[in-house]
Amino acid sequence: MRFTKDHEWVVLEGDVATVGITAYAAEQLGDVVFVETPEVGKTVSAGDSFAVVESVKAASDVYAPISGEVVEANAALGDKPETVNESAEGEGWFARLKVADPAEYEGLMDKAAYDEFLKTL
């Protein structure tokens, strides 16, 4: 699992990356009440806003941590957005991308680096 400074996480399996927001981000947002996942077939570049998460506190963009094409969106979040709070780094994933450049994954923070980054906030 790799992480961004915008609090997204990525797990790469072959050429498909599963993407979500970190437990830290979910905690900061509070109770998630709505999630807008990206459309299947949409092509995104690293850093593009590709989803939206709304909580009782705020609405936030979710940024693509790596470039690729959306091959699956987590439709279950439409009916149960609270899954993001319950399992942010598991069942609360947002989308799966067919990765354009696997090297982008290697450029993201590992767990130890992300934990160090959180200490600076």
* 20-31-119 Cα angle (round to 5): 60
Domain limits of the chain? 2-100
Structure token pair of residue 19: 């993407």
pTM for the complete prediction?
Answer: 0.95
Phi, psi of 3 (to 5 degrees): -135, 155
Q: What is the pLDDT of residues 45-91, one digit of tens each?
A: 999 999 999 999 999 999 999 999 999 999 999 999 999 999 999 99
Mean pLDDT of 110-117: 98
In angstroms, the CA 54 to CA 59 distance is 4
The domain 2-100 is placed in CATH, from the list 2.60.120.10, 3.90.1660.10, 2.40.50.100, 3.50.50.60, at: 2.40.50.100
Contact 66, 101 (CB under 8 A): yes
Note the pLDDT of residue 105.
97
